[in-house]
């Protein structure tokens, strides 16, 4: 994906070396105003953040602002094209597409948040431990992670989701399994370079235990890259969740879901009923795009390239 | 100074490019004519034929479908709609239903048998066979082939097939050859629907040269190996049939699904002299889903589209001036099943209450846009014996629902709640939509709360077998055209065991046995009426709708018959040039 | 290290990776679900028949025996029997694979060409509008679900404008290209474009291309973003180097400078990226094939999942994995051959 340049095996490297601890954190903490001072990169993050935040907010307050109950059938005649009463038209069951669009982000957000949490819980400790320990342990985990990483992600996610069955948690697990290697690799590359830094050596010479070194010195430096990978994880999770639903591994039809609307709306394509697909699809794009922009902007801020 | 060599080179390149383009275009158009399988026709010929009153028919027609042969083309194992559809074009039975059949006994006409009679006790059926019919290799069809077919089918007893599913072994005792062109069937029980059974595709006569008998009847592996399955690159070895209107010229499966089937007229077909099949070559192409099929017929890439087009597409095509929409009775039904092993549906009143809350109008109008019929009986409309028994329960009758449930302590604050299951593999049309509409209509009573759950078809079947679904939606296509096929497999204790809904009523079993054994129409009719009323009383299942069959064709196509047999007769289709 | 050492070590590395992959798939498919045989009996539960099926598929043996059977079978190229009709999974996969391969190749071609072209255009004006627009569009295309884009294309180009067909690989009336048929030599690849040329039928070739157009455009477009970004950054660095300035000073046209000199440098990372993206491509192919009725391996997997055909799913997933590993191995070797630096 993003910026990882592949060598052979596990020797990945960033384009630039990471900066030292303090300036890294302070470059991320300040408010949006200083973000925008950082040129295009900053604007990307701001824009992405606004997109994601607004979608999350709208989904959260949708029970109050949706004009109709999104699951109620026959609120209007089926297959009405967008008009004044139904902003986005109605689908084949007479449900209001606009209300469904407002409330349909829930499943996607749940799945992606869950998958990110799982990845963080598994990938981060594993990456830290493996790269710090080095030696055979490191080579072992590296091999496993490489194998999973090399595997076509969607195929693996589909296979796992097919075996586990439908449901939000199962989808999150299958996405997480595919994504853990990315976290692992990013963290590993960071840790490998930080491990050699003088201040870490100094700390070790002063008698600091491994745990302390990891938590006090290495981990904070790794955080920015984790954040970047997490945002990309979010974006990919949303697209993968949509893909899994399209194949039929999604959730029950009771709950409004953009992915389900896309799948269902496909039947109506040949008769020219474009609105059932267009709007939910647009929302998925906006949500995934939002996260991607955040990730792009952050990574460019952390590793500025092509500064002329 | 100009570089003459460079100019010379450029000119050569230019000339070469022009030559390639010309060759390409020429090749394109040559390929267009030879690549297409459309027959070549001169104006003179059409004129001549018009003058002689002979209308030329198109030699090739292309049909598109989303179906696919599920298991194979061997009648001992094939039990799916499309498998039967192709078997019907490749083979023949002793009798058949004439086109446009309504399901009455009069619609059964001779096919490989020319006449028949039945003994008074209904246990012995005698058939006189058609003479002068030949297989591919020149062997003349005779009574031994009939015996062979049934011995093989009952012997192999493939657990996936119709012989076991319908229970041929429990109906037929043995088949005896009495003379070269006469055969007798000795039955174990009097079976009124026997002729209908012989008309269904599982009973079609096979070609022994291509349909081996198992080497060891008691060994399941040997029996399984005798079933003829798809052979890559060899169409003839992929099916055991041989007396039908068509031969299988090409059957290509990619990745476990059909990709292309090509049929060509069989000169040995007994009715070839009647001009059948009307279209000599039939190409069948397979689409992944209804959208692909709909787009193809709208673009006029294919001549015929049959199964499965969505309701929206069909409605849309009705206004399309390039297409013709054919509609007809279907015999496929859908129904809601209750699990009676445990609460809440072990209580008859609860089942009746839920049954009274079903709103068939929304299902038919919203999900199917009017392209179905409300069904008030397990026996389909248009079939002998049908009565609108479930109308007494209401459609819907929320007052009754509330009354019945109030008596058991359910009301607005304490609702009856259960899970409704549906399948997600597309095995039935639009199951998710049906389920949503069903849920909505049940909840409109105010005292019921429904949660939807779903599973793909194989898992759905597992759940069914494990009996862990409280209520679920199932459907049914006819095996043979008789009310018995819509009653015995549902509400008979043994016949309905596959549904796993634990419904047992010995009174019902008795009625069913009488009805299937009795050969008098009046007696059967009265018995089926009693049976349907008993079903409403016991409420083990609620019929919801009966699907209509639809096909869409280009304007020139004729010969489409969508009748209650739900069989698609390729050999009747034609288009004038 | 020499090229030979690198090749050997790289190949040796692939073997454990493939091994882990196989084990992973085995665990996912065999360990997670319940009894696969139970799912395959329609109306009659026949314990004897179920036992027979179990025995035939080797499911009655202990797990570790199944594992070794699976591995040995793989060495022989036997991926087992489909649970639907006991036909060979290997044969089914091989019949479906050419379609996916054809789609993948054309999609990759489109993605790379678009990527290079737009990347070059963007790099020419860093920071200007053209650059920003191209960068943003590269990011946006990646955020579009590939099946959504496919449906949009179907509606616009198929339904609306009637320019291009939207399903299958050839017009329905046309028979499958037979490939080379000279005397007793019969050879076909399964790739319709190649087979129709081998057959000498230009019409089929053109039609095959027409039917390929929308699916590969869909997949290629979504994938192009990565290549745009890569080309852009590499081109930008290269274009500032001395030898490029020297070439310009000598009076060579801008096109020659860009595509002849600078692009050569940018090409190697693109090659690596192609190998990396191959995995993503195959994943996207699954969704694209479902949208366009494309009869390839992706659709096969989706169908088999709906049918709970575990042997087939396992076989297809293993096939995907091995194929991707082989491709990435080839790409890495090619890269090592072309770029001596990597071996150091």
Residue of C155, C226, C279 lying closest to A269 (CB–CB): C155
**Residues with Cβ < 8 Å from A262, sequence gap 6 or more?**
A242, A245, A246, A277, A280, A281, A284, C145, C147, C148, C151
Q: CA separation (Å) from C100 to C105, C106, C220, C301, C320?
A: 8, 10, 14, 12, 11
Whether the CA torsion C279, C220, A182, C237 is positive or negative: it is positive
Q: For chain C, which chains pass the contact test of at least 3 CB pairs under 8 Å?
A: A, B
3-state per-residue secondary structure call for C118-180: HHHHHHHCCCCHHHHHHHHHHHHHHHCCHHHHHHHHHHHHHHHCCCCCCCCCCCCCCCCCCCE
Cα A9 from Cα B155, distance rounded (Å): 59
Looking at residue A35, its pLDDT comes to 53
Residue of C43, C85, C159 lying closest to B498 (CB–CB): C43
CB B93 within 8 A of CB B204: yes
CB A259 within 8 A of CB A273: no
Lowest mean per-residue pLDDT among A60-69, A197-206, B369-378, B531-540: A197-206
What φ, ψ does residue B368 adopt, rounded to 5°?
A: -110, 5
State which residue of chain A sits closest to B456, comparing Cα positions: A248
Q: Does A98 or C248 have the greater pLDDT score?
A: A98
How would you label C57-67 residue by residue, b for 16+ Cβ within 10 Å and e otherwise? bebeeeeeebb
B46 has pLDDT over 50? no
According to DSSP, the β-strands at B60-65 and B281-286 are: parallel
According to DSSP, the β-strands at B124-129 and B416-423 are: unpaired
Instruction: Output the average pLDDT for chain B.
Output: 87
Cβ–Cβ of B289/C48 closer than 8 Å? Answer: no
Q: How many CB atoms sit inside 10 A of residue A209's CB? A: 10
Cβ–Cβ of A152/C320 closer than 8 Å? Answer: yes
Q: Is A87 on the interface with C (CB under 8 A)?
A: no
Cβ–Cβ of C203/B24 closer than 8 Å? Answer: no
Looking at residue B302, its pLDDT comes to 92
Looking at residue B87, its pLDDT comes to 95
Residue of A146, A243, A292 lying closest to C17 (CB–CB): A146
Residue of A1, A158, A306 lying closest to C126 (CB–CB): A306
Q: Which two tokens stand for residue B569?
A: 């007769």
Looking at residue C262, its pLDDT comes to 67
Residue of B31, B260, B462 lying closest to C202 (CB–CB): B31
DSSP conformation letters of A215-259: IIIIHHHHHHHHHHHHHHHHHHHHHHHHHHHHHT-S--TTS--HH
State which residue of chain B sits closest to C55, comparing Cα positions: B221
Lowest mean per-residue pLDDT among A176-185, B9-18, B431-440, B480-489: B9-18
Looking at residue B115, its pLDDT comes to 93
Q: Which helix (H) or strand (E) holds B450?
A: strand B448-455
Q: State the virtual CA torsion across C185, C186, C189, C193 in degrees, nearest 10.
A: 90
CB C324 within 8 A of CB A154: no
Tell me: the pLDDT tens digits for A150-180? 788 888 888 888 778 778 888 899 899 988 9
Residue pointed to by tokens 């999974």: C89
Contacts of B295 in chain A (CB under 8 A): 269-270
Residue of A146, A239, A248 lying closest to C306 (CB–CB): A248
Region of residue B157 (phi > 0: left; psi between -120 and 50: alpha; otherwise: beta): left
Q: How many CB atoms sit inside 10 A of residue C260's CB? A: 12
Contacts of C290 in chain A (CB under 8 A): 246-247
Q: How many CB atoms sit inside 10 A of residue B419's CB? A: 13
Q: Which two tokens stand for residue B100?
A: 């446009």
Q: Is A303 on the interface with C (CB under 8 A)?
A: no
Instruction: Work out the minimum CA distance from B137 to partner chain C, whole angstroms.
Output: 27
Cα B573 from Cα B200, distance rounded (Å): 20
Cα B435 from Cα B453, distance rounded (Å): 9
A23 has pLDDT over 70? no
Contacts of A273 in chain B (CB under 8 A): 312
Cβ–Cβ of C328/A150 closer than 8 Å? Answer: yes
Contacts of B287 in chain A (CB under 8 A): none
Tell me: the pLDDT tens digits for B506-557? 999 999 988 888 877 888 889 999 999 999 999 999 999 999 889 999 999 9
In chain C, positions 310-329, which contact chain A (CB-CB < 8 Å)? Answer: 313, 317, 320-321, 324-325, 328
Which candidate, C120, C84, C86, C146, places its Cα nearest to that of C298?
C146
Residue of A74, A94, A271 lying closest to B316 (CB–CB): A271
In chain C, positions 161-180, which contact chain A (CB-CB < 8 Å)? Answer: none
Q: Which helix (H) or strand (E) holds B174?
A: strand B172-179
According to DSSP, the β-strands at B541-554 and B574-575 are: unpaired
Instruction: Work out the minimum CA distance from A238 to partner chain B, whole angstroms.
Output: 22
Cβ–Cβ of A253/B435 closer than 8 Å? Answer: yes
CB B196 within 8 A of CB B206: no
Candidate ranges A184-188, B13-17, B506-510, C130-134; pick with highest mean pLDDT: B506-510
Instruction: Work out the minimum CA distance from A77 to partner chain C, whole angstroms.
Output: 23
Q: How many CB pairs under 8 A join A and B?
A: 69
Tell me the H-state helices in B388-443.
398-406, 431-443
CB A206 within 8 A of CB A84: no
CB B94 within 8 A of CB B79: no
Looking at residue B43, its pLDDT comes to 37
- CA geometry: angle B365, B368, B374, nearest 5 deg: 60
Looking at residue B211, its pLDDT comes to 92
- Tens place of pLDDT for every residue, chain C, 344 residues? 677 887 888 888 888 888 888 888 888 777 665 566 666 655 446 677 677 777 777 777 777 887 888 888 888 878 777 777 777 888 888 888 999 999 999 999 999 998 888 888 877 766 677 777 888 888 888 889 999 999 999 888 877 777 777 777 888 877 778 777 777 777 778 888 888 888 778 888 888 888 888 899 999 999 888 888 888 878 777 777 777 777 777 777 777 776 776 677 777 788 888 888 888 888 889 899 988 888 889 888 888 887 778 888 888 888 888 888 888 888 888 877 777 665 55
The residue-averaged pLDDT of B315-327 equals 92
Residues for chain B: how many in total? 577
Cα A208 from Cα C206, distance rounded (Å): 70
Cα C297 from Cα C290, distance rounded (Å): 10
Q: How far is CA C61 from the centre of its chain?
A: 35
Task: Tabulate helix, strand, coil % of chain B (nearest 5).
Answer: 40, 20, 40
State which residue of chain A sits closest to B315, comparing Cα positions: A271
Looking at residue C137, its pLDDT comes to 85
Residue pointed to by tokens 């999900």: B367
Q: Grade residue B7 by pLDDT with cuts at 50, 70 and 90.
A: low
ipTM of the complex in this document: 0.83
Q: Is A148 on the interface with C (CB under 8 A)?
A: yes
Looking at residue B41, its pLDDT comes to 35
Q: State the virtual CA torsion across B472, B473, B477, B478 in degrees, nearest 10.
A: 60
Q: CA separation (Å) from B276 to B148, B203, B575?
A: 27, 21, 13
Residue of A143, A305, A308 lying closest to C233 (CB–CB): A305
**Residues with Cβ < 8 Å from B335, sequence gap 6 or more?**
B375, B378, B473, B474, B475, B476, B541, B542, B543, B544
Q: Is C96 on the interface with B (CB under 8 A)?
A: yes
Q: Is B449 on the interface with A (CB under 8 A)?
A: no
Cα B205 from Cα B74, distance rounded (Å): 11
β-bridge mates for residue C264, sequence order: none
Instruction: Work out the minimum CA distance from C89 to partner chain A, whole angstroms.
Output: 16
State which residue of chain C sits closest to A240, comparing Cα positions: C145
Q: How far is CA B97 from the centre of its chain?
A: 14
């Amino acid at each position: 994906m993003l910026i990882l340049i592949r060598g052979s095996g596990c020797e990945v490297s960033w384009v630039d070396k990471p900066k030292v601890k303090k300036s890294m954190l302070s470059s991320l903490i300040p408010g949006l105003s200083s973000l925008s001072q950082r040129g295009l990169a900053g604007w990307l993050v701001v824009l992405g953040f606004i997109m994601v935040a607004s979608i999350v907010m709208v989904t959260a307050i949708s029970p109050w602002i949706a004009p109709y109950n999104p699951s109620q059938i026959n609120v209007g005649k089926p297959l009405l094209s967008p008009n004044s009463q139904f902003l986005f038209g109605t689908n084949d069951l007479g449900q209001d597409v606009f209300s469904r669009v407002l409330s349909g982000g829930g499943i996607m957000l749940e799945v992606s948040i869950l998958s990110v949490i799982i990845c963080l819980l598994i990938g981060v400790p594993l990456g830290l431990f493996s790269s710090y320990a080095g030696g055979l342990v490191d080579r072992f985990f590296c091999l496993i992670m490489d194998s999973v990483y090399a595997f076509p992600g969607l195929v693996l996610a589909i296979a796992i989701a097919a075996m586990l069955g439908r449901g939000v948690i199962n989808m999150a697990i299958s996405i997480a399994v595919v994504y853990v290697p990315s976290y692992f690799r990013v963290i590993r590359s960071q840790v490998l370079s930080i491990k050699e830094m003088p201040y870490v050596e100094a700390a070790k010479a002063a008698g600091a235990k491994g745990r302390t070194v990891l938590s006090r010195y290495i981990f904070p430096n790794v955080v920015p890259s984790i954040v970047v990978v997490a945002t990309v994880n979010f974006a990919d999770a949303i697209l993968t969740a949509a893909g899994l639903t399209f194949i039929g591994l999604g959730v029950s039809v009771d709950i409004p879901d953009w992915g389900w609307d896309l799948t269902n709306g496909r039947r109506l394509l040949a008769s020219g009923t474009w609105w059932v697909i267009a709007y939910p699809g647009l929302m998925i794009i906006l949500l995934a795009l939002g996260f991607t922009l955040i990730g792009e902007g952050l990574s460019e801020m952390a590793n500025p390239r092509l500064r002329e | 100074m100009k570089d003459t060599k460079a100019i010379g080179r450029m000119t050569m390149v230019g000339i070469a490019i022009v030559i390639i383009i010309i060759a390409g275009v020429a090749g394109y158009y040559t390929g267009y004519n030879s690549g297409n399988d459309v027959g070549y026709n001169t104006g003179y010929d059409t004129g001549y034929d018009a003058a002689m009153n002979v209308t030329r028919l198109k030699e090739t027609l292309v049909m598109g479908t989303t179906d696919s042969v599920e298991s194979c083309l061997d009648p001992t194992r094939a039990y799916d709609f499309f498998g039967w559809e192709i078997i019907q074009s490749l083979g023949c039975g002793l009798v058949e239903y004439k086109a446009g059949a309504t399901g009455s006994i009069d619609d059964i006409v001779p096919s490989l048998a020319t006449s028949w009679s039945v003994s008074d006790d209904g246990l012995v059926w005698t058939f006189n066979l058609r003479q002068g019919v030949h297989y591919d290799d020149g062997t003349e069809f005779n009574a031994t082939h009939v015996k062979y077919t049934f011995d093989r089918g009952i012997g192999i007893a493939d657990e996936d097939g119709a012989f076991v599913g319908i229970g041929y072994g429990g109906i037929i005792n043995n088949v005896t050859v009495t003379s070269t062109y006469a055969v007798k069937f000795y039955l174990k029980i009097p079976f009124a629907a026997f002729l209908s059974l012989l008309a269904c595709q599982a009973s079609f006569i096979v070609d022994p040269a291509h349909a081996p008998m198992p080497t060891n009847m008691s060994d399941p592996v040997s029996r399984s190996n005798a079933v003829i399955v798809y052979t890559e690159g060899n169409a003839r070895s992929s099916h055991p049939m041989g007396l039908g209107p068509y031969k299988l010229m090409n059957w290509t499966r990619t990745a476990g699904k059909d990709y292309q089937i090509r049929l060509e007229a069989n000169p040995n077909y007994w009715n070839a002299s009647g001009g059948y099949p009307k279209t000599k070559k039939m190409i069948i192409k397979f689409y992944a889903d209804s959208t692909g099929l709909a787009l193809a017929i709208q673009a006029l890439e294919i001549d015929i589209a049959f199964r499965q087009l969505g309701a929206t597409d069909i409605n849309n095509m009705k206004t399309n001036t390039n297409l013709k929409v054919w509609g007809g009775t279907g015999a496929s039904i859908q129904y809601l099943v209750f699990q009676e092993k445990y609460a809440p549906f072990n209580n008859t009143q609860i089942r009746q209450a839920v049954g009274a809350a079903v709103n068939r109008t929304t299902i038919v109008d919203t999900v199917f846009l009017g392209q179905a019929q409300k069904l008030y009986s397990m026996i389909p409309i248009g079939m002998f014996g049908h009565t609108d028994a479930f109308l007494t329960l209401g459609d819907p009758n929320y007052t009754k629902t509330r009354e019945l449930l109030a008596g058991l302590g359910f009301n607005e604050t304490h609702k009856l709640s259960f899970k409704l299951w549906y399948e997600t593999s597309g095995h039935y049309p639009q199951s998710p939509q049906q389920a949503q509409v069903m849920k909505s209509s049940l909840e409109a009573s105010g005292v019921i709360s429904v949660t939807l759950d779903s599973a793909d078809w194989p898992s759905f079947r597992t759940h069914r077998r494990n009996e862990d679904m409280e209520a679920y939606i199932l459907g049914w296509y006819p095996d043979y055209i008789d009310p018995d096929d819509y009653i015995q497999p549902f509400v008979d204790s043994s016949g309905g065991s596959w549904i796993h809904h634990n419904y047992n009523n010995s009174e019902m079993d008795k009625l069913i046995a009488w009805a299937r054994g009795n050969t008098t129409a009046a007696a059967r009719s009265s018995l089926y009426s009693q049976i349907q009323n008993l079903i409403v009383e016991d409420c083990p299942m609620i019929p919801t709708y009966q699907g209509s069959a639809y096909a869409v064709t280009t304007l020139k196509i004729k010969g489409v018959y969508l009748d209650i047999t739900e069989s698609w007769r390729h050999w009747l289709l034609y288009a004038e040039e | 290290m020499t090229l030979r050492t690198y090749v050997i070590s790289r190949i040796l590395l692939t073997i454990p990776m493939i091994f882990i992959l196989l084990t992973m798939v085995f665990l996912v498919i065999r360990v997670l679900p319940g009894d696969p045989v139970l799912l395959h009996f329609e109306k009659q539960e026949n314990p004897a028949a179920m036992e027979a099926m179990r025995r035939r598929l080797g499911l009655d043996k202990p797990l570790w025996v199944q594992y070794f059977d699976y591995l040995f079978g793989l060495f022989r190229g036997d991926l087992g029997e489909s649970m639907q009709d006991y036909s060979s999974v290997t044969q089914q996969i091989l019949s479906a694979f050419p379609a996916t391969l054809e789609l993948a190749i054309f999609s990759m071609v489109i993605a790379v060409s678009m990527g290079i072209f737009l990347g070059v255009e963007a790099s020419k004006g860093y920071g200007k509008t053209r650059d920003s627009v191209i960068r943003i569009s590269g990011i946006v295309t990646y955020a579009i679900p590939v099946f959504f884009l496919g449906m949009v294309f179907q509606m616009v180009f198929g339904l609306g404008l009637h320019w291009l067909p939207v399903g299958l690989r050839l017009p329905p009336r046309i028979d499958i290209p037979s490939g080379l048929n000279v005397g007793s030599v019969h050879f076909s690849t399964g790739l319709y474009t190649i087979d129709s040329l081998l057959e000498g039928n230009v019409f089929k070739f053109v039609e095959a291309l027409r039917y390929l157009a929308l699916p590969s455009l869909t997949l290629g477009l979504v994938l192009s973003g990565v290549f745009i970004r890569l080309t852009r950054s590499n081109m930008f660095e290269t274009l500032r180097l001395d030898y490029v300035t020297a070439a310009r000073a000598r009076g060579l046209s801008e096109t020659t400078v860009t595509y002849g000199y600078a692009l050569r440098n940018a090409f190697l990372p693109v090659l690596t990226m192609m190998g990396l993206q191959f995995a993503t491509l195959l994943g996207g192919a699954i969704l694209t094939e479902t949208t366009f009725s494309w009869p390839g391996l992706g659709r096969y997997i989706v169908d088999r999942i709906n049918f709970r055909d575990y042997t087939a799913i396992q076989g297809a997933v293993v096939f995907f994995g091995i194929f991707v590993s082989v491709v990435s191995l080839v790409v890495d070797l090619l890269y090592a051959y072309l770029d001596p630096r990597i071996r150091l």
